[in-house]
Every structure is written in structure tokens, then in C-alpha cells.
Amino acid sequence: MTFLLILAFLGVALFEVPNLIRNKHWRELTFFSAFLAFAFLLSLLQILNVELPNPIRGIQYLIKDILHLNYS
Amino acid sequence: MLKLEKGIISSSQLTFLIASYIFGGVVSITYATQLAKHDNWLTILAGFALSLPFILVYTALARRFPDKNLIQIHDIIYGPYLGKLISASYLFFIFTILTSNLRYIGDFTLTYILPETPLSAIVILFTFVCAWGVRHGIEVIARMALTLVVFSAFLFLLTFLFLLKDMELTTFLPVFEVPLTEFIQATHIIVTIPICEIFIFLLVFPSLNKKQQLNRSVLLGLIIGTGYLFLTVVRNVAVLGPLIGITSAPSYEAVRLIDIGHFLTRLEVLFAIVLIIMSFLKSSILYYVLVLGIAQLLRLRSYLPLVFPLGIIGISFSVLMYDSSIEQAFVGSTIWPIYALPFEFLLPLLSLVLAKLRRLPKFQGGSR
């Protein structure tokens, strides 16, 4: 599973990076790598069954338990 | 400043984009249906009337800054730092709408069509098709919208005609039976989830070729989209009757009842086709807007490199964000309307008022 994931991410990198380097789009390359690294970390942790913080839970907590605005 | 999107769309294409976006919200009227039951058609009419002023706020904002998208408008009105913060929170909101949509289509396919498949497999395939559309830009999505809206409207009319003999108009009686609080909540859901989400088109409006027709095409798209929702709800209430508050996908259950002489049966997959096509368009538009917004916020020269990383993050979050479709329905009916409130109602209104008070945009040397 992890091997497949690494393969998929390598595929994405090979698809995008040559064009970016050829056009000298360094800023784009930086942000592309940052987002791709984040995506890789996220999906790797998910595959390894690590409990991740959930933004929707945070919003639920904010609206329900702090602001008390939710519909019952 | 280089323009990120070079594609141009016509005003009729914008109409169909907006109509298809609201069509795509047919999944979320279920949250309102479970509350308002057979009075749901009234909530759609009330939601349409209530959302009109807000839609006019969006178009007024867009006409005030004809060549600017939402991110640039925030930069002008709130200054570079606060503007960036507001834009980032908007992009997070758009991201959560996108992941909810991906999750919904995954859950729907899982429940009704492919029960043994893992959720992530469906979501990955669906997102990949969306990414393909997004990489080709807004022009391709807009051309696709025209064809697909006509196709699914045809399928919808077909199911409507087949169900005519099963309809009973007495199921609408007694009118206005639900308690007022639930009616208000259902209307709130209708306003925030399918209809007022079209604020995301503030990022698409700069690609329009004839800016003076903006109001007309937006309102026409709104009427077509809401009319479709209205007809769907009327059909479901007339066919299902008291059953409508119980099912989790009323349209699917209604179409399932088609039986023409024991020969034409089990046509529910027609509705599944319409739902998947419309969710595909809605997700593509959201995905495109998200990627474009992030590229604009980070001042990139092209949004193409962000398409795949953002799609993968979206897939991860859509699998992660809810434990079950029950939780999604719960969040959609109680939390989401409140969560959407600042982004859809307060901030656009505030932006417009501030722009009026500060007399923005200022003319700079003859050219805007």
C-alpha cells in the first residue's frame, strides 16, 4: 500500500516538475513541492491508521460548544 | 499583474454553469426534506426569495470591480494583510464544501450502487476526472456544463413523465403543517447549501466576456437551477407522500417506483446518472475555484501545478472528515448553515458597504 502511494506521488511529480523547471517557474515549484509534501504526509499517516485532527470536528466544537449557535 | 485564467466564457455559458451548480445541490436538499417533510416545496420558494438580495450583493460586488476576482477584491478593500487572512478563510470554506461533495458522492455510490467497494477508491476516481476537467480551464468546464445540463434535464423530464401516473396531489395537504422553527431551519439550509454557495462564482466572473450582462445571466441561472430543485421536490412529495421524511435519498426512492406495464422498471440508475453528472460539474467548479484562488493568493503565474496536490489533499480530507453519512447529514442540517453564515452573508455585505463608503475602486490614470 505504501509502495503504491509512493509510486503515485512519484508519478505526479514526474508529470509536473519537468515543465516547471523548463519554464524556470521556481516560485510555482516551491509551492508545488510544499503542497505535494503535505499531501504525501497526510495520506501516509492515513494509510498507517494514525488518528489525525479533523477540521470539521473543530468547527463543530466552535459552533456547538463555544458559540451555542447550532440548531438542535 | 499577469492574469491567471486566460479563458473567456460567454454569458449563456455562465448561466448554465450557475444552473448546474445549483442542480448539483440536489443532494443537499435531503437535509431540508427530513425537517420540512411534504412542505419542502414551500421552503424552496422561501429560500429562493430570501437568497435573491444576497445574490444581488454578489453581482453588485462583481460589477464594482469588473476585472478583479474575490481574492483581489479583498486585497483592495481590507488591505494586504487582513485581506489575505479573509481570503484564506474563504478558501478553507471552499475546500470544505469540495470535500463534503466528494464525500457525499462517495457515500451515495457506496450505499446504492457499489456496496462492496472501499470509499477511497470511488473518491479517487471521481476526483481524478474532476482534476482532468480543471486542468483544461474554465472554458472547457463551461462548454461541458451546457451539454451536460441539457442531457440531465432530458433524463429528469423522462423520469417526471414516467412518474406522472403515480402522483397524488392530495399528499401536499395539509399545507404548512410543520412547526415554524423547523420550517425556518429547513429554509436556512436551502438558502445556504444549494443556492447562496454561488458566491464562489465571484472568482469566475472576471472571465466573462460581456460584463454588462452579468446580472441577467446570474439571475437566469438562479431561476433555472432553483426551478429544477422545485420540480424535483414537487415530484418527490407527490410520489412518495408521507414516506419523504424517512428516506435518505428521496429522489432515488421516487424514481425507483417507476413501473410502466411491468416492463420499464428499475430506472433508478437514471437518477444516479443525473446525480453523478451534476456532482461532477459542481465539484469541478469548486475544485477550479479553489485552485485558482490559492494560486492568486500565493501570486503564482499558473494554477496548473497546484491541481494534483490539492486534489490529493481533498481526497484525504473527504475520507477523514466524517465517520459516516449519518454524521454528514447531522452536520449538514445543524452546523453547516451557521458555519456558512459569515462567508455567504456577512462578509460579502460588509465588503460591499466598505467599498461604497471608501469609494473604491479608485481610478488610476484613466485605466481601471
Q: What is the DSSP string of B240-272?
A: HGGGGGT-S-HHHHHHHT-EETTTEE--HHHHH
Q: What is the pLDDT of residue B98?
A: 94
B119, pLDDT greater than 70: yes
Mutate to test the interface with A, among B96, B339, B345 (most CBs of A within 10 A): B339
Q: Determine contact: B179 vs chain A, CB below 8 A.
A: no
Chain centre distance of CA B203: 14
**Out of A15, A54, A70, closest to residue B335 by CB:** A70
Q: Do residues B131 and B287 touch, judged by C-beta distance below 8 A?
A: yes
Pairwise CB contact (< 8 Å): A20 & B308: no
Among candidate residues B208, B174, B196, the one with its CA nearest the CA of residue B68? B208
CB contact under 8 A, A56 and B313: no
For residue B149, the one-letter residue type is V
Contact across the interface for A28 and B333, Cβ inside 8 Å: no
Question: Distance from A60 to chain B by nearest Cα, in Å?
Answer: 6
Neighbours of B227 (CB within 10 A): 14
- CB-count exposure of residue A51 (10 Å: 0-12, 13-18, 19+): exposed
The enclosing H or E element of B159 equals: helix B138-162
**ipTM score over 0.85, yes or no:** yes
> Chain A: nearest CA to B82, how far in angstroms?
21
Q: Which pairs count as long-range contacts for A39-46, CB under 8 Å and 24+ apart, including other chains?
A: A39/A9, A39/B309, A39/B310, A39/B312, A39/B313, A39/B316, A40/A5, A40/A9, A40/B312, A42/B312, A42/B313, A42/B316, A42/B317, A43/A5, A43/B312, A43/B315, A43/B316, A44/A2, A44/A5, A46/B316, A46/B319, A46/B320
Quickly state the pLDDT bin for B286 (edges 50, 70, 90). Answer: very high
User: What is the model's pLDDT at position A52?
Assistant: 87
- The per-residue pLDDT for B367 is 47
Cα dihedral B61/B65/B66/B68 (nearest 10) = -110
Q: Does A24 touch chain B (CB under 8 A)?
A: no
Q: What's the grid cell of residue B64?
A: 464594482
pLDDT tens digits, one per residue of B300-354: 888 999 999 999 999 999 998 888 888 888 898 899 999 999 999 999 999 999 9
Q: Which residue has the higher pLDDT, B122 or B245?
A: B122
Interval B287-306 mean pLDDT: 92
Task: State the Cα–Cα distance between residues B283 and B126, nearest whole angstrom.
Answer: 9
The rounded distance, in Å, linking the Cα atoms of B75 and B92 is: 17
Contacting residues of A for B188, CB less than 8 Å apart: 71
In chain A, what residues touch B92 (CB-CB under 8 Å)?
A: 55
What pLDDT does residue B363 have?
Answer: 62
Average pLDDT for B281-293: 93
Compute CA distances B274 → A31, B132, B135, whole Å.
36, 20, 23
Q: What is the pLDDT confidence band of residue B368, given thresholds at 50, 70 and 90? A: very low
The residue behind cell 475602486 is B361
- Distance CA(B191)–CA(A63), nearest Å, equals 19
**A54/B321 touch (CB, cutoff 8 Å), yes or no:** yes
Burial of B1 per CB tally in 10 Å (0-12, 13-18, 19+)? exposed
Burial class (CB in 10 A: 0-12, 13-18, 19+), B350: middle
Residue B269 in contact with residue B251, Cβ under 8 Å?
Answer: no
* DSSP helix/strand/coil, B367: strand
Residues B43 and B333: their CA atoms lie apart, in Å, by 14
